[in-house]
């Protein structure tokens, strides 16, 4: 028996820097590059930029395509190598370590002009894969470019600053004084702004900066949280949905299907932006190796992105009735002013105390607080409430999904911490009616369309229509009211699990 040697691609074996700085597998890189026009790979004048080099895999895979595409135009292999690496491929590393790793992957030498480099024409050690240590620009305790806190990232020179070169400048065109045909990459996703208790998205800043360079084509793989939520992403979401130059979008609700062993709440997506072409976007949703789509869609239809095209017909049918939204009787976040870690209450009820509902260590509890100590939203103290945990489920990572945690009926008077949102009503009978509605698959399906992560904010409930609170609501009653077809009902019940 002949023993076969197996030489794995080393770039498939790298451990990720973190869940926010993820190395891109070569097979995924090629799926993304397949979005680009094939004629680019036989164009000796086309220029390509990866502004977020980690392993160099994007540049390496582009080099392979150019080597093949330019073979007839440049038959001499060394001449072709020199031309591609010196004149066509450019990168900006995110750290000094990744600059060395990228050069090793692309040039076969961490020193671009060293004796082992496959390109013979570089004059300096960095070649076209640049890295320069930069510092954040502090103003009022925050970086003016990326928004992280000075307390967390104003560090000693021996530590990584995470002041990414590409986004810490107002003039990205000066990083390389040339125009690029293609910008492609997998940017860092977020940074902890204050030592880890709150994370600030970074990927949107890389997309926006890349657009400023006005390439012919832009492809990036980013978290899908922007589609319906994310800290400070409202403007980015509006811009993305309004941009008719996004011509292809491939969405993975479960990120581990692309990045094994990595959990990214809300999933990931990658897209093709074409500067010279406007129109509907071809959307494909991928789950369990099944492709739903591509389906041409106008991304401007809703204020958030509805991931699954099968849900859109149902949503349109419901919105067509133009009923008031249930958020008209839903509290805002932190309605009574107390965060989830509030401790200013006591465990035993005293005369005149109000029950306070809170969640600690995933356990639901009731404490007590004097009425005089409740100073915010006092008009809601004496209402019946249907409370719903603000955090629940996992944003559709599994099918079928429960979407929301178990609801709780709280009698009047009552209050709660930020752990809960609540619907407020006048009577026990009304609250029981609303609670029956909340537990239906219909209700939770409409919530799921705007809920991509574990957290459900007030706006997540926007598309749920308000009902009358004088009956018990069931899915059968609601399916009939909104004239849903058998296929539409089957789809809802496939996606949403009954609530125990």
Residue-wise pLDDT for 413-427, tens only, equals 999 999 999 999 999
| Secondary structure of residue 467 in the 3-state scheme | coil
Query: Does residue 1 register a pLDDT over 60?
Result: no
Tens digits of residue pLDDT in 109-150: 999 999 999 999 999 999 999 999 999 999 999 999 999 989
**CA atoms of 274 and 29, how far apart (whole Å):** 18
Classify strands 281-287 and 246-252 as parallel, antiparallel or unpaired. parallel
Query: In angstroms, what is the C-alpha Rg of the chain?
Result: 27
Residues 115 and 108 sit within 8 Å (Cβ to Cβ):
no
With a pLDDT cut of 70, the percent of the chain lying above it is 94
179: which DSSP letter? -
Mean pLDDT score of the chain: 92
Q: Identify whether the C-beta of residue 165 lies closer than 8 Å to the C-beta of residue 92.
A: yes
pLDDT of residue 50: 98
Calpha distance 270→258 (Å, rounded): 11
Average pLDDT over residues 304-328: 95
pTM of the model: 0.90
Q: What is the pLDDT of residues 65-115, one digit of tens each?
A: 999 999 999 999 999 999 999 999 999 999 999 999 999 999 999 999 999
User: pLDDT at position 18, please?
Assistant: 52
pLDDT band at 161 (very low <50, low <70, confident <90, very high): confident
The whole-angstrom separation of Cα 394 and Cα 285 is: 18
- Whether 10 shows a pLDDT value over 90: the answer reads no
281-286 own/partner pairs: CB under 8 Å, 24+ apart? 281/246, 281/247, 281/248, 281/249, 282/247, 282/248, 282/249, 283/249, 283/251, 283/309, 284/248, 284/249, 284/250, 284/251, 285/251, 285/253, 285/309, 286/250, 286/251, 286/252, 286/257
Complete domains list, the chain, with CATH: 10-243 (3.40.50), 326-495 (no CATH)
* Whether residue 237 has pLDDT greater than 80: yes
The confidence score (pLDDT) of residue 375 equals 95
Q: How far is CA 208 from CA 20, 95, 218, 348, in A?
A: 18, 20, 11, 54
> Has residue 12 got a pLDDT over 60?
no
Check whether 394 has a pLDDT greater than 80: no
Percent of the chain surpassing pLDDT 90:
81
pLDDT the model gives residue 9: 52
């Amino acid at each position: 028996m002949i023993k076969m040697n197996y030489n794995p691609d080393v770039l498939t074996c790298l451990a990720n820097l973190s869940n926010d700085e993820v190395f891109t597998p070569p097979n995924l890189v090629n799926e993304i590059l397949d979005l680009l026009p094939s004629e680019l790979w036989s164009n000796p004048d086309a220029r390509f930029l990866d502004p977020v080099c980690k392993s160099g895999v994007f540049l390496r895979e582009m080099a392979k395509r150019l080597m093949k595409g330019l073979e007839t135009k440049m038959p001499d292999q060394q001449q072709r190598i020199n031309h591609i690496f010196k004149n066509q491929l450019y990168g900006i590393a995110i750290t000094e370590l990744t600059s060395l790793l990228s050069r090793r992957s692309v040039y076969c030498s961490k020193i671009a002009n060293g004796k082992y480099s496959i390109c013979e024409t570089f004059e300096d050690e960095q070649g076209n894969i640049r890295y320069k240590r930069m510092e954040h620009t502090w103003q009022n305790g925050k970086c003016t470019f990326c928004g992280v806190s000075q307390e967390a990232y104003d560090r000693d020179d021996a530590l990584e600053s995470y002041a990414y070169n590409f986004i810490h400048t107002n003039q990205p065109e000066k990083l390389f004084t040339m125009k690029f045909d293609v910008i492609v990459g997998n940017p860092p996703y977020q940074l902890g702004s204050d030592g880890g208790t709150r994370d600030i998205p970074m990927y949107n800043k890389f997309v926006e900066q890349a657009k400023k360079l006005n390439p012919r084509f832009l492809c990036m793989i980013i978290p899908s949280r922007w589609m319906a939520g994310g800290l400070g992403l409202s403007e980015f979401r509006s811009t993305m949905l309004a941009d008719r130059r996004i011509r292809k979008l491939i969405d993975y609700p479960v990120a581990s299907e692309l990045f094994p062993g990595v959990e990214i709440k809300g999933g990931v997506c990658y897209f093709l932006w074409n500067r010279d072409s406007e129109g509907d976007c071809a959307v494909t949703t991928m789950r369990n190796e099944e492709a739903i789509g591509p389906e041409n869609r106008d991304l401007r239809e809703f204020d958030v992105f509805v991931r699954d095209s099968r849900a859109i017909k149902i949503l349109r049918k419901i919105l067509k009735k133009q009923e008031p939204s249930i958020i008209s009787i839903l509290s805002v976040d932190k309605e009574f002013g107390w965060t989830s870690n509030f401790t200013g209450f006591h465990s035993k009820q005293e005369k005149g105390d109000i029950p306070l509902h809170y969640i600690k260590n995933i356990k639901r509890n009731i404490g007590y607080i004097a009425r005089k100590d409740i100073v915010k939203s006092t008009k809601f103290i004496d209402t019946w409430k249907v409370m719903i945990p603000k955090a629940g489920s996992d944003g559709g990572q599994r099918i079928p999904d429960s979407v929301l945690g178990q609801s709780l009926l709280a009698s009047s008077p009552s209050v709660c911490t930020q752990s809960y949102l609540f619907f407020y009503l006048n009577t026990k009978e009304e609250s029981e009616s609303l609670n029956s509605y909340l537990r239906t698959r219909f209700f939770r399906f409409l919530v799921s369309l705007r809920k991509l992560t574990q957290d459900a904010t007030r706006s997540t409930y926007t598309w749920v229509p308000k009902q009358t609170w004088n009956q018990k609501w069931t899915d059968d009653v609601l399916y009939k009211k909104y004239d849903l077809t058998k296929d539409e009902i089957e789809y809802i019940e496939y996606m949403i699990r009954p609530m125990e």
